[in-house]
Structure 1
Amino acid sequence: MVAVVKTGRSIHRVFNYNENKVKEGKAEIIGAGNYPFDPEKTTVNMRLNRLIRQMELRPDVAVNSVHISLNFDPSESELPKEKLMRIAESYMEKLGFGNQPFLAYQHHDAGHPHLHLVTTNITAESKRISLHHIGIHKSEPARKEVEKTFGLVAAEGQKNSMATGLQPIPLGKVNYGRTESKKALQVVLENIVPDYKYTSLAELNAVLRQYNVQADRGTEGSRIYKTGGLAYHILDAHGKPIGVPIKASAFYNKPTLKNLESKFTGNDVKRMPHKSRVKNAVDMALVGAKISLQDLVKALEKQGIHVALRQNDSGLIYGITYVDHTTKCVFNGSALGKQYSAKAIQERCTVAVKTGQHLAGHAAPVRKGLQPPPFTTAAETKSTSHVQDAANILDTLMQPEQASDYMPRELKGRKKKRKNKRNNNNL
């Protein structure tokens, strides 16, 4: 069994995630711990309010929601619900959450059986259960004991089955028309918005655009812009919006402009330790002989760093953003330092992009002032050199020896002395 513990600030988000899976027929609620009623016979609001009431006992605690997934070996797909519930209760007891209210959902949307548990770390006595290193210090020992007690396949040594069976489904690009727009956008937003560290809407879009999604405030004079609204578009293969945009408030995790902006300052602090990784990757790629901008982009992609270029209508690159998928940090070029800005990076690279040429995944990157010289033959080069030399010699011979307003230093000195002499005679 593999146990994954995630903590957060929004019980609504994790609760709605599981309840939406139930509505879609991809999950079912199989039980609850420390609830005064059978959750299967209650409404959604009743299930949620039980958790919220307990969390309200400590409004000063920001991180107060816990989302746990218990993942079993594919060979254990026939485990009955009653046993799964006993496993969940035993695990929660050993984790130190034995008296906490929790909901248990069995999901059916993966190649292996697994449970999702939703709970809070706020106790009925208004105390807070520490979540510091909960995965290492509490979850791992609890998992091992549960495996032995119920005879489950151990997580250790299961490289062929468990490791393969528990690989997460890679997040793919949204293709308009293939799936319902809101559902497709929701999947991307719930994987990107809470996890990546960005400090502006432009930096967030540098990530979202890789999945054919874009957050849009509207034009400056539009109603949505004036009211501080935000909508999400699906993009086509050319990066253009397609279909009807959906308001941010329509998604259950509420990725509104206000909520995004509240994360900017905190994200700036969180991403600070990871700046050096991106800077070092860029510097290492540019060590030695100069490489082209295309080669730099490819080299960074191998390090898990996506390069997003911003260009104007004429194709001039005026901005660059680095998206580090390993650390989930996003940096505008200037945030890393002057030498990592769009202008500096182009100067550090060789000239390899011509006007109108496109880089893969980017729109017409044209580097002003760095276009290569026109191609000439050796004979033409030699002939041009002789003509230029002759022109230079002729220019030199035709120049006057002195400027028209030139005056010898000696004359200037005598004039100054005579003036001084006259001044002395007047005394």
Structure 2
Amino acid sequence: MVAVIHTSSSLRAVLMYNERKVGEEQAVCLAAENYPKEATDLTFDQKLNLLQKLASLNLRTKVNSVHISLNFDPSEHLSPDQLRAIAGSYMDKIGFNDQPYLVYEHKDVAHEHIHLVTTNIRSDGSRIPLHNLGKNQSEKARKEIEIDFNLIKADGRNQELQELKPAILAVDYGKIESKKAIAKVLAGVIDRYKFTSIPELNAVLGQYNVLADRGNEGSRTFQKEGLYYRLINEKGERVGVPIKASSFQRKPTLKYLQKRFEINEQLRLADKIRVKNAIDFTLYGKSNVTLDRLTNILKREGVDTVFRKNDTGLIYGVTYVDHRTKSVFNGSSLGKNYSAKAIQERCSPMQLTTNIAQYNVPDLGEHSNSISHSSRHSSHQVFPDFPFQQRNLPVTNTKPEMADALFDPLKQDGPIPRPLRSRKRKKKKGLSQNL
């Protein structure tokens, strides 16, 4: 089992993401735990209002939405009761057992997975810390649940992902024979990954310091539909002597690759939704996710993000390399919302950090790819006297009018807590009052 945790400041956006999947018949709400009604009896507003009322008790905490996905091995097929039990065990182990939370089973990808939606603001207004939630509680809970429910362990799955990019494939010009090193990379990429163009192929090859080079459009090589493979350094600069594609044993010429393009176009269709979901899950309803944070999160999901830049450093293209499904997608092929322009608009307008590794691939616009890291912390303020202290009572013991009151929209005209009240400025007496 793999647990992925996202936090944000918009409960509405997170809930809408899951409810939209329900409306598209790609998900179903399995449970509404610690709600006074069953999930099937709740409307969208009722689900949201209870969470928002909790969040309103601590207005100092901006990050109050917790969105978790629990992912299982594709070979595992779990019943709704098993998924509910796993969700309950996980929330209990990470300290969210008393929080109201919603459980959604998503059916938009091949592997079984569920989404959990809740808030980290307790009924007394205190905040559940999130900064070590993934590293400490979640990781421990994940391993215990794998044993308790006899699930396939994620450690072996992570090892499999690492084997997709073995170090032996990395090419360092000058230390080993160029042709032999390039041949190893081509054998590990061309017959395994599903790409539909030379730029998409270079998005994968560039990570191993190899470039498929057709030459300039006006060159004889380009006009004769020739193809060379060559080494590039960590800056994307061409090094060494190019080697004809026909001189390799597998003969990965342009004609051969064009046949692969047509086959791969059909083979990768089923894999689009996984990459799109990974991007949407990271960005939906969030306004503070930068490009480098997006690439870092996608990398943990097994997706490398390759940005293409012009000579001035402006990003004009993006390619996604999914190492789990071994599919490669140019951003625009996934849809307008996943193109380079749309991704930059959806991300926070901050420049990529200087620590980002870049591969400047000059051929056919393959200039660079970028991966980086980011983190977020928040503070909290406690407010007492939450009127829903007894919300965990069974539905049968709760009067209908009391239960309905929990789902009323949050009113903004009530008294403001004293710590949040702004100090009134004293008016200066005018000259006329002093006379």
Q: Whose helix proportion is higher, 1 or 2? A: 1
TM-score by length of 2: 0.45
After TM superposition, the score normalised by the length of structure 1 is 0.46
- Looking at CA atoms only, which structure, 1 or 2, has the larger radius of gyration? 1
Structure having greater relative contact order (Cα 8 Å, sep ≥ 6) = 2
